[in-house]
């Protein structure tokens, strides 16, 4: 099988293949974002769809050298890359300041302050990603969202903790809208921002109780169902809770979320 066909089977949209480094690319489930990436080295390559895959899958040509040696090399390369990404993410966060950002304004949070990194004339919003409290990487948001090359993403999250009910979601803006809705209802929350649907399912399965706030896209509801937890999902295709919040306002959004929240309380009782 050609590398291009292997990539398409995993949902990546490729117009061409650039060898030698990780390349971000759109995916079939998120065609307007760069939610996939690949690395092609001629006789071996990797593809990663952030929404559907917990880690990259490897492709080998018929002429590739035996897999055992290659896999050992890949594991060392991956560990080294994760360590390098964790160090770089700490360095980036040290360069940031708390400030407003065009992305936050666009998402309905004009007064919200996040970690802003000014570099090369750009304002990049930086969201730290942690596993068991340890910094492993970050999501960087400008016009598009991206992660540090090689960073660990499986099991990584950003938690907004008010010592309350566990709520799992994909995106940062969605998490902020959930926080606004829970505050409007005067209910404590612990919001786990998981960055992808597959990672949401992975994180949620190890935490008892709670609820999921799912994106209405091909993988969002599927991942919510996999958790076995009550979930909220918009009736409008392609809409997440932030989109819903912006469209209907905080009162209607909070009342809609309350139904799923009550179900989660009854389930865990």
The SS3 assignment for 238 reads coil
Last residue within a domain, chosen from 100, 125, 153? 153
Domain residues for the domain of 215 are: 157-269
Rounded distance between C-alpha atoms, residue 171 and residue 242, angstroms:
9
- Least confident interval from 63-77, 80-94, 215-229, 254-268: 63-77
Query: Does any domain span residue 76?
Result: no
241 and 161 within one domain: yes
Per-residue pLDDT at 269: 57
Check residue 68 and give its pLDDT: 47
- The pTM of this model reads 0.79
Q: Cβ atoms within 10 A of the Cβ of 164, count?
A: 13
For residues 242 and 206, which has the higher predicted lDDT (pLDDT)?
242
Tokens of 173: 């803006």
Is 180 in contact with 250 (CB distance < 8 Å)?
yes
Question: CA–CA separation, 129 vs 194, rounded Å?
Answer: 9
Least confident among 66-70, 93-97, 262-266: 66-70
What one-character-per-residue DSSP string does 6-49 give? HHHHTTB--SS---SS-EEE-BSSSTTS--EEEEE-SSEEEEEE
- How does pLDDT run across 123-172, given as a tens digit for each residue? 999 999 999 999 999 999 998 888 998 899 899 999 999 999 999 999 99
Long-range contacts of the stretch 61-65 (C-beta < 8 A, 24+) = 61/3
How many whole angstroms separate alpha carbon 109 and alpha carbon 180? Answer: 10
Instruction: Find the CATH number of the domain harbouring 263.
Output: 3.40.1360
209 and 242 belong to one structural domain = yes
Q: How many helices (H) and strands (E) does the chain have?
A: 8, 14
Residue 97 neighbours by CB under 8 Å, 6+ apart:
115, 116
Higher pLDDT, 73 or 208: 208
Q: Which of 36, 65, 94 is the last residue of a domain?
A: 65
According to the model, what pLDDT value does residue 221 have?
92
**Last residue of some domain: 129, 153, 177?**
153
Regarding whether 264 and 186 lie in a shared domain, the answer is yes
- Read off the pLDDT of each residue in 34-39 and give the average, rounded to a whole number: 87
191 and 104 within one domain: no
For 170-179, the pLDDT digits (tens) are 999 999 999 9
Within 13 Å of residue 219, how many CA atoms lie on the same side as its CB? 21
Q: Are 86 and 135 within 8 A, CB to CB?
A: yes
User: Quick count: other Cβ atoms within 10 Å of Cβ 134?
Assistant: 9
How many domains are there within the chain? 3
Closest CA to 38 of 63, 20, 54, 51: 20
Give the chain's mean pLDDT.
Answer: 90
Residue 75 domain-assigned (yes or no) = no
């Amino acid at each position: 099988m050609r590398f291009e066909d292997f990539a398409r089977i995993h949902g990546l949209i490729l117009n061409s293949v650039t060898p030698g480094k990780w390349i971000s690319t759109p995916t079939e489930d998120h065609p307007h974002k760069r939610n996939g990436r690949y690395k092609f080295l001629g006789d071996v390559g990797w593809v990663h769809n952030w929404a559907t895959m917990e880690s990259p899958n490897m492709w080998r040509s018929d002429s590739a050298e035996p897999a055992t040696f290659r896999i050992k090399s890949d594991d060392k390369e991956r560990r080294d890359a994760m360590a390098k990404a964790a160090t770089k993410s700490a360095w980036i966060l040290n360069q940031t300041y708390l400030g407003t950002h065009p992305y936050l304004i666009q998402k309905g949070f004009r007064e919200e302050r996040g970690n802003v990194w000014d570099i090369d004339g750009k304002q990049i919003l930086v969201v730290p990603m942690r596993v068991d409290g340890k910094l492993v990487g970050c999501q960087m948001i400008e016009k598009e969202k991206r992660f540090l090359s090689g960073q660990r993403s499986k099991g990584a999250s950003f938690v907004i903790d008010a010592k309350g009910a566990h709520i799992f979601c994909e995106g940062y803006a969605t998490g902020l809208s959930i926080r606004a809705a829970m505050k409007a209802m005067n209910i404590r929350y612990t919001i786990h921002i998981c960055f992808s649907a597959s990672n949401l399912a992975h994180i949620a399965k190890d935490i008892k109780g709670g609820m999921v706030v799912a994106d209405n896209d091909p993988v969002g509801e599927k991942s919510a169902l996999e958790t076995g937890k009550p979930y909220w999902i918009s009736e409008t295709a392609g809409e997440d809770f932030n989109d819903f919040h912006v469209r209907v306002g905080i009162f209607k959004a909070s009342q809609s979320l309350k139904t799923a929240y009550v179900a989660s309380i009854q389930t865990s009782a």
